[in-house]
Structure 1
Amino acid sequence: MDFRRAVAVAFAMWLLCPLAHAQPVDVQVLLQGDKVVLDVSASVAAEREQVWAVLTDYEHMAGFVSNLKSSVVIGHDNNALQVEQSGEARHGLLHFAFHSVRSVELVAPQEIRSHLVSGDFKSYEATTRLIAEDGGHTRIAFHGEYVPNRWVPPGIGPSLIRSETGKQYDELIAEIRRRKNAALPPAVPASATP
């Protein structure tokens, strides 16, 4: 295969990739003693309400986030939920199972606040903000601080967290796009237009 053809094939594959037009997910991980500080920023071409619908779909989340084995709402009181989730994070030969019950406060459609009730953390506090941007885009801004029950090794720990978090947000963005595209009317073939 000559160079020009290889470039054309690579470009075509890039166009067909479902995440090709997504802005990259920026994941920052900082260890402060036992505490993990996690910041995520991502922009998606969808209205805030569409993004909100996916990020708060806890009952179906295990179906589109691959590291979740289960995700259920076990309690509901107006704008507050109790969410139980379990799953497994993998990075090479390492794997870590996790389980948590979180209290989630919903301030629709702009903010999700959650804190630990029980699970594999000593403490957990997180806030996700959805910021409407120009052109029908929404910025997802997540800030979380948690202390896991297990020691996080300084080298591989942040790398594992960064990798799993980036993958999780890629999957969330893919689901946002899938639902957005499913809501569009079917395309009319060019031959059917007058």
Structure 2
Amino acid sequence: MKLMCLLLLLSSFASASDVRVTARKEADLVKIDAEFRVAVSKEQAWQVMVDFEHMPQFLPQLVSSHIISQSGNHLRVSQALNVPLSLFNYQYESVRDIDLKPFSEIHATSVGGSEAYQSVALLKPAQGQTVISYHAEWLPESSLLAGFALDTMRNQIRQQFIAMQQEMLKRHDQRASASTPQTH
């Protein structure tokens, strides 16, 4: 049994891929792109990416996440993050409108506040895996913050997607082990 658990754990690490993230400043706008592959179905990846109520359990620095309202495939989500920045922590709260195209696209737009943020995540099958591509555009309050935050944004997005990838693999492995007949 211990060997089986170890093999499942090692298979999760072997199935994880690098998360590539770029962040760049264009005028006052910060553009972020990310991509990774994960050895799960689109449906399994999707379930993690839209599990807003449980995200604080598996995403680093996410303090809270709640669905405020939902109408069909349109959600309003409130989240709070606590992001370490050099010598201090930056606490950030966001309310976003989320539009879902099940199993293929997640569009998010910030609502209210002084900073505009839009993103899209695309899920595509590829050779028994799911490729997740992400693009975001952020218009911060100040260009000083934008320049200072590029590395932090890049690292934060990378950490979040690594955590999502690990959660996808964990759930996949849990389902696989639950459906495997037990032999004695």
1:131 aligns with 2:124: yes
Which amino acid letter does the alignment assign opposite residue 100 of structure 1?
S
Q: Of 147, 165, 175, which residue of structure 2 is paired with 1:183?
A: 175
Q: Of 57, 62, 75, which residue of structure 1 is paired with 2:56?
A: 62
Give the SS at the match of 1:183: helix
Residues 30-179 of structure 1 correspond to what in structure 2 (within 5 A)? 30-119=24-113, 121-135=114-128, 137-150=129-142, 151-152=144-145, 154=147, 156-179=148-171
Quick check: which one's helix share is greater?
2
Computing the radius of gyration over CA atoms, which structure comes out larger, 1 or 2?
Answer: 1
Partner of 2:4: none
Aligned residues: 175
TM-score by length of 1: 0.82
* Structural RMSD (CA): 2.2
Unaligned runs of 5+ in 2: 1-8
Give the SS at the match of 1:185: helix
| 1:188 Cα deviation after fit | 6.4
CA distance in 1, matches of 2:14, 2:140: 34
| 1:23 Cα deviation after fit | 1.3
CA distance in 2, matches of 1:153, 1:127: 20
Unaligned runs of 5+ in 1: 1-14
Which amino acid letter does the alignment assign opposite residue 24 of structure 1?
D
Tell me the alpha carbon deviations over residues 67-90 of structure 1, each in whole angstroms, 9 at most, x when there is no partner: 110000001011100000011111
CA distance in 1, matches of 2:158, 2:102: 24
TM-score by length of 2: 0.86
Which amino acid letter does the alignment assign opposite residue 138 of structure 2?
Y
Residues 16 and 166, structure 2, Cα contact 8 Å, conserved in 1: no
Partner of 1:10: none
Looking at both structures, which has the greater relative contact order when contacts are Cα pairs under 8 Å and sequence separation is at least 6? 2
Which amino acid letter does the alignment assign opposite residue 57 of structure 2?
G
Give the SS at the match of 2:106: strand
Tell me the alpha carbon deviations over residues 100-136 of structure 1, each in whole angstroms, 9 at most, x when there is no partner: 10000000010001111124x521111100011112x
Give the SS at the match of 1:82: strand
Identity of aligned residues (%): 28
